[in-house]
């Protein structure tokens, strides 16, 4: 009895030592001279064991892991042979079950084939869009910007956001970083960076009042132009103002916009896309004024306002 008791105690001590080493705790057998520290380590070991058991129990009932397992099973192409029934006297039932299994296997194979074809099509469209420059900020020469806009709009309904930047502008550098992030998120919009000079003919052709500037094209037409200085205080840039401005112009589009044009969608898809944009405006209010329809905020000309106030004061004095 004493030998079995000692063996049981030794096995418990060994288990505690192994668990303590696994959790990064000191060996309980080395803390016999310090009962306070040994008690703290024993309590920590108990809590860690309990947390491990709870984590394992949660993993067993986690819906996300079960969904991943089902997804792997659905995308698994190889077929595993089903064991055939060898029971005597049950041949008819076995044949019926085999027929049902064959039908299920054919249905699953067809679903897998369609899903794989869909994934391959999406990958091909994504690669084609990346080859055209979607998903990143592209450096475009000043003389080639308008030709590039026409080239992208040849399939129809292309959206282009171009930053006309000048050297030595800190706000322009921040805008380039923000447009890079937007290009990664909105892969249906072509983002361009155009290095220009103060007297560049492109600025005059686009009727820009100041540089650097942000210009937006939709379906080959210029729908928005704004100086970078209007998106924040002098020398700074408020990224939320830029995003809100582009959203109001409806030039931020997802990846499906490029794939639909590459696949040659019917004109009815463009109407559906416009309907989705109108629905977005109805659901999401403007960040500035709260209106739910497409509009654009124009900053007041303060000199004109002062002249009007002065003239009104003179009229009152008269």
In this predicted structure, the answer to whether residue 273 has a pLDDT above a threshold of 70 is no
DSSP 77-135: -SPPPPPPP--TT-HHHHHHHHHHHHHHHHHHHHHHHHHHHHHHHHHHHHHHHHHHTTT
In this predicted structure, the answer to whether residue 41 has a pLDDT above a threshold of 60 is yes
CA distance 308 to 104: 80
The band of 246, judged by pLDDT with boundaries at 50, 70 and 90, is very high
Choose which CATH entry (3.40.190.10, 3.40.630.30, 3.40.30.10, 3.40.50.970) describes domain 137-265: 3.40.30.10
* pLDDT (mean) for 106-126: 81
In this predicted structure, the answer to whether residue 236 has a pLDDT above a threshold of 70 is yes
Task: Enter the tokens of residue 104.
Answer: 């299920």
More confident residue, 96 or 107: 107
How confident is the model over 179-204, as pLDDT tens digits? 999 988 888 889 999 988 878 888 88
In this predicted structure, the answer to whether residue 219 has a pLDDT above a threshold of 50 is yes
**Considering the entire predicted model, what is its pTM?**
0.45
Q: Is the Cβ–Cβ distance between 212 and 202 less than 8 Å?
A: no
In this predicted structure, the answer to whether residue 74 has a pLDDT above a threshold of 50 is yes
Q: Per-domain residue ranges for the chain?
A: 16-56, 137-265
* pLDDT (mean) for 54-64: 80
More confident residue, 211 or 317: 211
Residue 163 has a pLDDT of: 92
């Amino acid at each position: 009895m004493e030998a079995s008791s000692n063996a049981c105690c030794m096995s418990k001590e060994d288990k505690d030592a192994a668990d303590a080493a696994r959790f990064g705790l000191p060996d309980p057998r080395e803390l016999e001279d310090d009962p306070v520290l040994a008690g703290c380590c024993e309590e920590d070991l108990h809590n860690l064991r309990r947390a491990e058991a709870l984590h394992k129990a949660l993993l067993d009932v986690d819906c996300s892991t079960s969904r991943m397992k089902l997804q792997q099973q659905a995308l698994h192409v190889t077929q595993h042979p089903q064991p055939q029934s060898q029971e005597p006297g049950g041949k008819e039932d076995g044949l019926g079950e085999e027929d049902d299994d064959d039908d299920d296997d054919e249905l699953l194979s067809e679903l897998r084939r369609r899903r794989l074809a869909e994934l391959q099509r999406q990958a091909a469209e994504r690669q084609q869009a990346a080859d055209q420059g979607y998903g990143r900020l592209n450096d475009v020469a000043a003389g080639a910007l308008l030709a590039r806009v026409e080239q992208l709009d040849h399939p129809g309904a292309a959206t282009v956001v171009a930053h006309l930047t000048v050297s030595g502008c800190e706000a322009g550098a921040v805008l380039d970083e923000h447009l890079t992030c937007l290009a990664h998120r909105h892969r249906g919009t072509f983002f361009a960076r155009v290095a220009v000079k103060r007297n560049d003919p492109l600025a005059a052709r686009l009727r820009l009042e100041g540089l650097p500037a942000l210009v937006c094209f939709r379906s080959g037409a210029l729908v928005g132009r704004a100086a970078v200085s209007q998106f924040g205080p002098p020398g700074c840039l408020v990224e939320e103002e830029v995003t809100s401005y582009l959203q109001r112009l409806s030039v931020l589009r997802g990846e499906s916009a490029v794939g639909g044009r590459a696949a040659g969608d019917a004109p009815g898809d463009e109407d559906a896309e416009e309907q989705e944009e109108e629905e977005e405006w109805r659901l999401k209010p403007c960040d500035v004024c709260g209106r739910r329809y497409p509009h654009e905020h124009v900053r007041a000309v303060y000199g004109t306002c002062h002249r009007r106030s002065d003239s009104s004061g003179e009229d009152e004095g008269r």
